[in-house]
């Protein structure tokens, strides 16, 4: 994996404005992993994809992450600072192979969800329906007492067991941060989604960069490409001179 230049990241951010977050994530990885086919990246399980995104974010913005959320009890604003290393799950066994589970007499063969599965949920806003579609897409075989069954015949409790097993097999795909409110004492687990976090961070960064380009272009007459080709340290020095 290689890092992205300022111009490349800015171009990818602009492309992401007309795409879903999951599509944008794949565009990022395709640019950072030029030797890997897009189809292969899209077929990675979500945890493997997210691990790559964490590594790429390290290269682009550094390893430190800062999150702001609101307490679910009293609404107090909370800040959480941590490192990407704190949430990077060690790579274990091959997660691309099929897995099996037996629950209440049902024998289920399944695979882990990929970006292709998430993209197939576009337009599905109801959580239960989206979850059901996702599980059914990942089921490879369902049988009971040797008789094959359709995915839709799976009882809800068996679907829940499959979902839980997926989370256990691919914990990187279901990261939850432990939150504690100093004001009211409430503790809870907050879902951390690297795709959403990376997108918001990149959007804020892009807006700052464009403002800097506008300032330097007006003051010095340089083109956008000339300004973006500078290191961020050199750009900042020129910006400081503008304010003198």
Say if residue 72 is in the same domain as residue 130.
Answer: no
According to the model, what pLDDT value does residue 206 have? 97
Say if residue 58 is in the same domain as residue 17.
Answer: yes
Provide the 10 A C-beta neighbour count for residue 45: 22
Say if residue 237 is in the same domain as residue 197.
Answer: yes
According to the model, what pLDDT value does residue 145 have? 84
Residue 234 domain flag: yes
What's the domain count of the chain? Answer: 2
Say if residue 107 is in the same domain as residue 157.
Answer: yes
Q: Is the dihedral of CA 26, 31, 33, 34 positive or negative?
A: positive
Residue 174 domain flag: no
According to the model, what pLDDT value does residue 142 have? 92
Among 110, 145, 169, which residue terminates a domain? 169
Residue 94 domain flag: no
Residue 155 domain flag: yes
Say if residue 76 is in the same domain as residue 24.
Answer: yes
Residue 114 domain flag: yes
Residue 52 domain flag: yes
Residue 1 domain flag: no
Say if residue 136 is in the same domain as residue 27.
Answer: no
pTM of the model: 0.91
Among 169, 187, 210, which residue terminates a domain? 169
Among 119, 144, 169, which residue terminates a domain? 169
Q: What is the domain extent for residue 125?
A: 99-169
Say if residue 20 is in the same domain as residue 62.
Answer: yes
According to the model, what pLDDT value does residue 170 have? 94
Say if residue 77 is in the same domain as residue 183.
Answer: yes
Say if residue 106 is in the same domain as residue 73.
Answer: no
Say if residue 133 is in the same domain as residue 236.
Answer: no
In whole angstroms, how far apart are CA 190 and each of 29, 46, 57, 63? 25, 18, 20, 20
Residue 63 domain flag: yes
Ranges of residues in the chain whose predicted pLDDT is under 50: none
Phi/psi for 239 (5° steps) reads -65, -40
Say if residue 113 is in the same domain as residue 76.
Answer: no
Say if residue 188 is in the same domain as residue 141.
Answer: no
- pLDDT tens across 58-69, in order? 999 999 999 889
Q: What is the mean pLDDT of the chain?
A: 93
């Amino acid at each position: 994996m290689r890092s992205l230049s300022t111009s490349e990241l800015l171009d990818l951010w602009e492309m992401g404005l007309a795409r879903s977050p999951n599509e944008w994530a794949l565009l990022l990885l395709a640019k950072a992993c030029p030797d890997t086919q897009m189809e292969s990246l899209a077929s990675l399980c979500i945890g493997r994809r997210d691990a790559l995104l964490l590594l790429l974010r390290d290269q682009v913005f550094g390893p430190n992450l800062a999150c702001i959320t609101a307490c679910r009890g009293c609404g107090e604003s909370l800040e959480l600072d941590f490192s990407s290393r704190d949430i990077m799950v060690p790579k274990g066994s091959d997660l691309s192979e099929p897995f099996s589970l037996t629950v209440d007499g049902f024998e289920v063969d399944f695979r882990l969800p990929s970006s292709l599965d998430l993209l197939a949920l576009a337009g599905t806003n109801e959580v239960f329906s989206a979850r059901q579609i996702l599980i059914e897409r990942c089921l490879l075989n369902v049988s009971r007492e040797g008789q094959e069954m359709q995915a839709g015949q799976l009882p809800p409790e068996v679907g829940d067991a499959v979902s839980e097993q997926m989370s256990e097999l691919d914990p990187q795909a279901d990261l939850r941060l432990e939150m504690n409110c100093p004001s009211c004492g409430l503790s809870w687990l907050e879902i951390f989604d690297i795709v959403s976090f990376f997108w918001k961070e990149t959007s804020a960064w892009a807006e700052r960069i464009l403002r800097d380009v506008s300032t330097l272009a007006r003051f010095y007459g340089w083109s956008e490409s000339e300004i973006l080709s500078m290191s961020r340290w050199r750009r900042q020095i020129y910006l400081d001179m503008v304010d003198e």
